[in-house]
Amino acid sequence: MERLEVKGLNHHFGFTEILRDINFTLEKGQMLSIVGPSGGGKTTLLHLCAGLLDVEEGKVTNTFASNSFAFQEGRLLPWKNVIDNIALGLLAKGEKTSIAIEKSKKIALRFGLEESDFEKFPKDLSGGMRQRVSFARALVVEPSLLFLDEPFSALDIGLKKELQTVLIEMIANKEISILFITHDLMEAIRLSDEILLLKADPGHIVKKFTYSLPQNERDDKFVYGESAKILQDAEIIDTFELELK
């Protein structure tokens, strides 16, 4: 069984303690969100899980067959056009160029890019388009585990919903497992099976929320209702410093 298991994870940058005793497990087909305020060590945690940082203390066991990463700011290669950017992951896996290009074109169309955009460089794309390309690049390799680092934070409502719908569909089909970090509670409620609340200084998990209703059945009423409920939670108020001082 594929899974991502984090056990007793601690992390320091120099003398600053970033993460303390993190434990959780992400099962196959699940979407796990880690929410918390900005600067709370969320990104560090994600990078440790994805192997972009070396684990110093504790254990991260990743048995997923493949994984990929979608970044907050897109991180496209500015000197490559849309299609070549999307194809990057495929080529790294050793896919034949012609097939990689073919697949990239297909997924680009699925993510609402147009054929006339294929040859464009990132500088000629809007922020939303760049994020679509970044998503396409992460998903074209058909990863069994996807790391998402606040990929929706810079998008307008329409585009946000569009990309989320794609993810919800994939989760419903059990195609993918997702580790998602965000500071947006509503976003987390709409998408996640499980939410971990990460409190800052140093980052540690203080609470866990579980939602069993399938994502594709969650409507706005559900999301608003749950959000209202969760905002009453004492730990949430404390973590996000919501009380008026």
The residue ranges that bind other proteins (CB under 8 A) are: 47, 50, 52, 68-69, 71, 73, 75, 77-80, 88-89, 91-93, 116, 121-123, 137, 141, 147
Distance CA 27, CA 64 (A): 10
In whole angstroms, how close is the CB of 20 to other proteins at the nearest point? 24
The residue (of 75 and 207) whose beta carbon lies closer to other proteins is: 75
Residue 45 or 205: which CB sits closer to other proteins? 45
C-alpha to C-alpha distance for 30 and 87, rounded to whole angstroms: 26
Residues 6+ apart with CB under 8 A from 222: 213
Beta strand 67-70 pairing with 145-149: parallel
Closer to other proteins by CB, 149 or 193: give it: 149
Q: Among residues 76 and 189, whose Cβ is nearest to other proteins? A: 76
**What Rg value do the Cα atoms of the chain yield, rounded?**
18
CB of 136 to other proteins, least distance (A): 13
User: CA-to-CA distance for 81 and 105, rounded, in angstroms?
Assistant: 12
**Rounded to the nearest whole angstrom, what is the least distance from the CB of residue 125 to other proteins in the complex?**
12
Cα dihedral sign for 167, 172, 173, 176? positive
On whether the CB atoms of residues 99 and 40 are closer than 8 A, the answer is no
Question: 123 vs 221, which CB is nearer to other proteins?
Answer: 123
Give min distance, CB of 176 to other proteins, in A.
16
Q: CA-CA distances (angstroms) from residue 193 to 24, 26, 188, 212, 213?
A: 13, 10, 9, 6, 8
Which of 124, 89, 121, 120 has the alpha carbon at shortest distance from 104?
A: 89
| Distance in Å, CB of 161 to other proteins, minimum | 25
CB of 92 to other proteins, least distance (A): 5
Q: How many CB atoms lie within 10 A of CB 221?
A: 8
In the bound complex, what is the minimum distance in angstroms from residue 71's beta carbon to other proteins? 6
